Amino acid sequence: MAALYHSEDFVEGGLSYAYDSGHVDYEYNIPSGLAMNVGASPMYDESEMQRHRIASMLQPEVIEFLVYFQKCIKEKSIGELQVIYETGFDKMSADFFRQESWPEADVVAPIVNNDKIFLMLYKELYYRYLYSKSGKNLVSQQREESYYNYCDIFNYILVGDYDSEESNPVGLELPNQWLWDIIDEFIYQFQAFNQYRSRVFAQQHKSNMESEFGYLSETSSWNVMSVLNVLHSLVDVSNINEQLTVYNSGGDPTSVSGVYGSIPLYKNLGYFALIGLLRLQCLFGDYYQAIKVLDNVDFNTKSTYTRVAACQVTTYYYAGFAYLMMRRYQDAIRSFCNILLFIQRTNKMFQAREYQQTAMSKINDQMYHLLAICLVLHPMPIDESVDSQLQEKCGDKIRKMQSRDVQEASVEFEQCFTFACPKFLSPISNYIDDGGRGIDITREAFNLQLKVFQEEVNQQYILPTIRSYLKLYTSMSMEKLADFLNVTMVDLKFHLLCYKHKLNNRVWVKGAGGLSGEFQSSSELDFYIDGNMIHIADTKVSRRYADYFIRQIHKFAELHNTLKQLPTPKK
């Protein structure tokens, strides 16, 4: 496995300071473990006095919290770490740092005795908080610093302790939620950087953008190959694919996990890296590879390999979207229904942080929109509770997409797609069009995917209308249908063939590979042509009441039990 870059030995200056009721006196050397010199950050230019002032302004509670945090990491007390990570940090953020960001790592360093591992993790949280507060306003340097911090973290995990000579797995233990968030945030910041760079390049000739443009042209941070390299290395080092294969066939994963893979930190990071790759491939428009990456993850049955809910949601969202673009509507519908049901049933907001809550509800809405698109193109019966939510959120849009008016339908499809699609990226950085102007390349990437989608929809424009007519009859002559649709007989033949072709897609049947599947025809409305007659077969699903009754009876029984156990009020 290749390390991202060779980090030289961390060199630290000695640090000593003495509090002297207002006058602080210390020397501080900037650690020089980076292969490339980071451009001067505003903080480093400030005078030492300024730094002392800020350090002394840290409230005792914050200091106490940081020391406790560091202790938990050192002692690997996972339970307490989980509490700190999921609630403690946010509480401190809300209490003390509502308006601005947490103090910079150098300020915090003296309090934790320059514990480099703690500082790496602290910086990760620091930048994440910064992004959540003021993501759009960050300049290249800050983004780059965050990138180098991630490089440090991944280098540490992949290459091992700096002190030892061979690479050994590190003895770090972090809660799974944090591990997922690291991968998730890493890709998110990569996305944000690409969008930012694309914006700057598109406006490169504007005067206020010149310095940023110059900086961005030189930098090699956040390049796509290193991001891919990180994810692939995590997957390789943990042997996660081999572990999953064995796990799926009922065996013991530890037999194939190797030294690194048997440690939870690496195993989980390996799994999360797989999902990260799924996401990244979708962002670049390579849907085949996206599903291929999940070859060993059995996400089509309802088992869950991980308990991190955000990871589940991300998996199903991107998998469903990839299936949609591959025209495997049945698989897409199944993916979306699975996860929407999961979200409905667990119901409590399992994300602690505000920005994660909004992200979760947004992805929920996006999935309903994608589900709506799929169901318009390929109607099939779905779970009632998902259906009722769907009608509530998107009933109007569904009606418009099924409209006879091709223009109206097409506009609605475009709107839904634009809202619900991921933020596509392009791997190349600069793009000049024929007129010599810079182009916003991420916008181009989105336009490309939208165009492919629209072309697919346009090829199917007449199908919902045909379907609505066919539903009314059990057999019909070709002339009659041609009359209804106002097309020639010749054209009608092709439309009917097209209908059959579009609804005959690959559907996953069994096993772990998401790409496999047999060709199956849509089950709802089918027909065949005999001479000049169309024979139609409809599927009528009678209303299912048993499930509903059973659930309600159980709920009622539970309520009854709870009531029985309540103390009777004294008169």
Which residue stretch of 51-59, 180-188, 207-215, 521-529 sits at the interface with other proteins (rule: CB under 8 A)?
A: 521-529
Could you tell me the smallest distance in angstroms from the CB atom of residue 537 to other proteins? 5
When asked if residue 285 is in the footprint of other proteins (CB under 8 A), the reply is yes
When asked if residue 559 is in the footprint of other proteins (CB under 8 A), the reply is no
Looking at beta carbons only, is 235 or 512 nearer to other proteins? 235
Could you tell me the smallest distance in angstroms from the CB atom of residue 473 to other proteins? 11
SS3 for 27-91, per residue? Answer: ECCCCCCCCCCCCCCHHHHCCHHHHHHHHHHCCHHHHHHHHHHHHHHHHCCHHHHHHHHHHHHHH
Binding residue for other proteins, selected from 494, 509, 555, 559, defined by CB under 8 A: 494
Please state, in angstroms and rounded to a whole number, the distance separating the CA atoms of residues 187 and 257: 26
Please state, in angstroms and rounded to a whole number, the distance separating the CA atoms of residues 277 and 227: 10
Site string for other proteins, 417-456 (x = CB under 8 A): ---------xxx---------------x--xxx--x--xx
Could you tell me the smallest distance in angstroms from the CB atom of residue 372 to other proteins? 21
When asked if residue 232 is in the footprint of other proteins (CB under 8 A), the reply is yes
When asked if residue 555 is in the footprint of other proteins (CB under 8 A), the reply is no
Contacts (CB under 8 A) with other proteins, residues 257-276:
none
> Are 104 and 96 contacting, i.e. CB atoms less than 8 angstroms apart?
no
Q: Residue 189: helix, strand or coil by DSSP?
A: helix
> Are 386 and 341 contacting, i.e. CB atoms less than 8 angstroms apart?
yes
Q: How far is CA 487 from the centre of its chain?
A: 45
Looking at beta carbons only, is 127 or 446 nearer to other proteins? 446
When asked if residue 236 is in the footprint of other proteins (CB under 8 A), the reply is yes
Residues 513, 515, 519, 520, CA torsion sign: positive
When asked if residue 563 is in the footprint of other proteins (CB under 8 A), the reply is no
Looking at beta carbons only, is 338 or 426 nearer to other proteins? 426
> Are 493 and 481 contacting, i.e. CB atoms less than 8 angstroms apart?
no
Binding residue for other proteins, selected from 501, 509, 511, 559, defined by CB under 8 A: 501
> Are 358 and 366 contacting, i.e. CB atoms less than 8 angstroms apart?
no
Could you tell me the smallest distance in angstroms from the CB atom of residue 324 to other proteins? 11
Strands 525-530 and 518-521: what pairing?
A: unpaired
Convert 523-533 to b/e letters by CB count within 10 Å (16 or more is b).
ebbbbeeeeee
Binding residue for other proteins, selected from 76, 91, 205, 544, defined by CB under 8 A: 544
When asked if residue 353 is in the footprint of other proteins (CB under 8 A), the reply is no
Which residue stretch of 91-99, 145-153, 170-178, 495-503 sits at the interface with other proteins (rule: CB under 8 A)?
A: 495-503
Could you tell me the smallest distance in angstroms from the CB atom of residue 114 to other proteins? 34
Q: How many residues bind other proteins (CB under 8 A)?
A: 70
Looking at beta carbons only, is 32 or 539 nearer to other proteins? 539
Please state, in angstroms and rounded to a whole number, the distance separating the CA atoms of residues 308 and 268: 10
Binding residue for other proteins, selected from 74, 116, 133, 327, defined by CB under 8 A: 327
When asked if residue 471 is in the footprint of other proteins (CB under 8 A), the reply is no
When asked if residue 546 is in the footprint of other proteins (CB under 8 A), the reply is yes
User: φ and ψ at 528, to 5 degrees?
Assistant: -145, 160
Could you tell me the smallest distance in angstroms from the CB atom of residue 542 to other proteins? 5
> Are 1 and 238 contacting, i.e. CB atoms less than 8 angstroms apart?
no
Look at the block and give the residue holding tokens 């949601």. 313
> Are 324 and 336 contacting, i.e. CB atoms less than 8 angstroms apart?
no
Looking at beta carbons only, is 44 or 528 nearer to other proteins? 528
When asked if residue 407 is in the footprint of other proteins (CB under 8 A), the reply is no
> Are 510 and 497 contacting, i.e. CB atoms less than 8 angstroms apart?
no
Which residue stretch of 8-16, 39-47, 144-152, 279-287 sits at the interface with other proteins (rule: CB under 8 A)?
A: 279-287
Which residue stretch of 135-143, 151-159, 174-182, 545-553 sits at the interface with other proteins (rule: CB under 8 A)?
A: 545-553
Q: Residue 319: helix, strand or coil by DSSP?
A: helix
When asked if residue 548 is in the footprint of other proteins (CB under 8 A), the reply is no
When asked if residue 527 is in the footprint of other proteins (CB under 8 A), the reply is yes
337's tokens? 């229904």
Write the burial class of residue 320 (CB in 10 Å: 0-12 exposed, 13-18 middle, 19+ buried).
buried
Could you tell me the smallest distance in angstroms from the CB atom of residue 502 to other proteins? 8
When asked if residue 289 is in the footprint of other proteins (CB under 8 A), the reply is yes
User: In sequence order, which residues have a C-beta less than 8 Å from that of residue 523 and are 6 or more positions away?
Assistant: 380, 539
- Specify the amino acid at residue 568: T
User: φ and ψ at 502, to 5 degrees?
Assistant: -70, -30
> Are 317 and 311 contacting, i.e. CB atoms less than 8 angstroms apart?
no
Binding residue for other proteins, selected from 496, 507, 514, 522, defined by CB under 8 A: 496
Compute the half-sphere exposure of residue 374: CA atoms within 13 Å on the CB side of its CA: 32
Return the number of other C-beta atoms located less than 10 Å from residue 137's C-beta.
8
471's tokens? 């539903």
Binding residue for other proteins, selected from 49, 94, 553, 559, defined by CB under 8 A: 553
Binding site for other proteins (CB under 8 A): 2, 224-225, 228-229, 232-233, 235-236, 284-289, 292, 325-328, 426-428, 444, 447-449, 452, 455-456, 459, 474, 490, 493-498, 500-502, 504-506, 519, 521, 526-531, 535-547, 550, 553-554, 557
